[in-house]
A = this chain, B = another copy of it.
């Protein structure tokens, strides 16, 4: 089996290293000699984390996807422009393609999967979601007897590192972000990670596999963590919650919802204890109940572990054909955003005068919203009360109307903060 790799950076280098160090194990599992024969790189002379002995390097990636001696192409270069063209060519040339590229699959997966199906090749992407955690295989095979009701995951390590530091050390968002950038956890432009776009890519993929529907990245409602303040973290702790940046996909009464947002979850849940750069995905099946999958969401060898697992599946023929084999993508309607039901955390800064809390709760009552918990902090020097409220489960549209009404009162001193709460029970 001859393998061609597009990109010998962190993930590509990790794949070469893991194939070398575990060759005995992998040979035993596949009964096949796996050989990386070619690799396309940006600069042949650059130093790398892996040995390139026995690998023919080229700066022209089209040589890889058009090379007849190559059976399987690993797309580990990233991006959605050139990478897409190369994957298409490889598939048209009858090659199986394995990729770690979440943006490519989330945004062009439907057409690429259709192309792979038409060309009778496999297009696999376990490494695109949650790094080394075998979450897609678990959804496709391990939980294949179930109707999946919910997937909720910490699927961006950078964001989880930032929120963990904010909670454990009382630090603010900006200072932790800066440290994350120095540690190499966050990019110079952190938008993809902290604004939830990376997580939305992964969630769209998770939902498609979980529910057996087409990829609908543009339907994911996405909210980042950059607006989470130290005060929110402190209130959450006091109320018995931890704030996590979750990607949540649910199927409710035949409709799908997909959303990425900061979420208060009860401290005692396993997900609340997934800290630092680690990832974890909670899956609820209608037979198995809740299950959870935890591990490293990034890193050279952890991601390589997922890429090579796909490679071994292709070689052994143990690919679960759900994606490739779908007769048609099931058209599952998308739930209207205003109809999505959730519990909410609200944080208000209000003038401390008699009757304010009564006014607020009266507005909630008018919209049939119950208050489950209220915490009020010491009045500050400006005579303002800092108030946190947890509601019951309500429709998103209803909470927005109520909050708009409360916001219009002159006793409210700043924009009301709204954060989702999930009990995950």
Binding site for B on A (CB under 8 A): 14, 18-19, 21-22, 25-26, 28-29, 31, 126, 132-134, 137-138, 141-147, 212, 268, 270, 273-274, 280, 285-296, 299, 301-302, 304-309, 311-313, 316-322, 325-326, 330
Contacts and interface: CB of A to CB of B under 8 A. Distances in A.
Contacts of A320: 316, 318
B145 A312 contact: yes
Contact of A145 (B274, B286, B296, B309): B309
A120 to B, nearest CB: 16
Contacts of A309: 141-145
Nearest to A272: B273
B322 A321 contact: no
B31 A312 contact: no
Given A212-B28, A292-B294, A134 B143 contact: yes
Q: What 4 A-B pairs have minimum CB-CB distances, sorted nearest first? A: A134-B142, A145-B308, A291-B295, A132-B288
Contacts of A301: 287-289
Contacts of A305: 143, 145-146, 285, 287-288
Nearest to A141: B137
22 contacts: A21-B287, A25-B145, A29-B322, A132-B288, A137-B141, A137-B142, A141-B318, A142-B309, A144-B313, A145-B308, A145-B311, A145-B312, A146-B305, A280-B292, A288-B295, A288-B302, A290-B294, A290-B295, A291-B294, A291-B295, A293-B293, A318-B319
A147 to B, nearest CB: 5
A287 B133 CA distance: 11
A295 to B, nearest CB: 4
Contacts of A132: 285, 287-289, 291
A66 to B, nearest CB: 27
A288 to B, nearest CB: 4
A307 B144 CA distance: 10
B318 A25 contact: no
A289 B302 contact: yes
A74 B142 CA distance: 17
A102 to B, nearest CB: 18
Contacts of A142: 126, 133-134, 137-138, 306, 309
A420 to B, nearest CB: 23
A268 B278 CA distance: 14
A146 B22 contact: yes
A420 B268 CA distance: 26
A279 to B, nearest CB: 10
Nearest to A299: B289
Contacts of A147: 22, 25
Nearest to A142: B134
A322 to B, nearest CB: 6
Given A26-B144, A28-B212, A138-B134, A295 B292 contact: yes
Contact of A321 (B133, B141, B316): B316
Given A22-B287, A144-B312, 16 more contacts: A21-B287, A25-B212, A28-B326, A28-B330, A29-B144, A133-B291, A137-B138, A138-B138, A142-B306, A142-B309, A144-B309, A145-B312, A280-B292, A285-B305, A287-B308, A290-B294
- Residue with the greatest number of chain B CB neighbours at <10 A, chosen from A285, A288, A302, A307: A288
